């Protein structure tokens, strides 16, 4: 597909869907022109055109769409202020990562992306549509965190801090973290988030920043 001009930018299905909508709109215009155009009157075409116009009008009704409530200014959170004062090269990852493909699975990520605009630190899971290779790999490994594979991936990609939400931080996870306490070191604990430092994470210029798979 990259051979044809412009198609290399269509990296996901939804962009092809937008292109298809343009084609459908054009075909609809041709159809309505055929129904109401300057040709010999045919009541069947007129009825069909009227029904199509009514259906299009119903489709375009401006019905209210509920938006995700992002809450108050994120700087009220202690962990956001902590990140604001962290080194600029800090790279973070939030847990739990999305484990599905539905819109609801990415609501937490949307809130965390909003927080990122305030603390300004790189975030490995800040994707909601096109997900690059490194983030896809982390989505597969991080549900098992902490274990050897997930920690090795964090170190390789240069992710310095893991931010675990309160819903992730269960007693079972605490037992697993105890086994890795020399590598996964607690740095900050609040009612909303616990931040763990990953010992041995790759320095600036790591594979994640280079976009390596």
Range of the domain at 55: 7-59
Half-sphere exposure of 52 (CA within 13 A, CB side): 18
- Rounded to two decimals, the pTM is 0.67
Residues 33 and 78 in one domain: no
Q: State whether 34 and 117 are in the same domain.
A: no
Based on the domain organization, do 28 and 126 belong to the same domain?
no
pLDDT (tens digit per residue) in 162-205: 999 988 888 888 899 999 999 999 999 998 899 999 998 876 54
Structure tokens at 58: 């119903």
Nearest Cα residue to 195 out of 86, 99, 110: 86
Q: Say which residue, 138 or 33, is predicted with more confidence.
A: 138
Based on the fold, state whether residues 90 and 26 are members of the same structural domain.
no
């Amino acid at each position: 597909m990259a051979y044809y001009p412009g198609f290399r930018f269509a990296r996901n299905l939804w962009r092809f869907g937008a292109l298809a909508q343009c084609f459908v709109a054009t075909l609809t215009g041709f159809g309505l022109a055929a129904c109401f155009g300057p040709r010999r009157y045919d009541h069947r075409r007129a009825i069909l055109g009227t029904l199509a116009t009514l259906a299009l009008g119903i489709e375009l009704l401006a019905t209210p769409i509920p938006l995700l409530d992002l809450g108050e200014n994120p700087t009220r959170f202690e962990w956001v202020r902590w990140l604001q004062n962290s080194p600029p090269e800090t790279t973070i990852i939030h847990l739990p990562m999305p484990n599905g493909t539905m819109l609801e699975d990415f609501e937490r990520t949307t809130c965390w992306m909003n927080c990122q605009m305030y603390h300004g630190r790189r975030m490995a899971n800040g994707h909601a549509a096109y997900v690059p290779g490194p983030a896809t790999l982390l989505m597969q490994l991080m549900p098992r965190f902490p274990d050897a594979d997930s920690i090795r991936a964090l170190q390789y990609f240069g992710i310095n801090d893991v931010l675990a939400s309160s819903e992730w931080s269960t007693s079972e996870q605490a037992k697993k973290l105890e086994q890795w306490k020399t590598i996964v070191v607690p740095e900050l604990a609040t009612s909303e988030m616990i931040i763990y430092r990953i010992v041995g994470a790759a320095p600036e210029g790591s594979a994640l920043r280079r976009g390596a798979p």
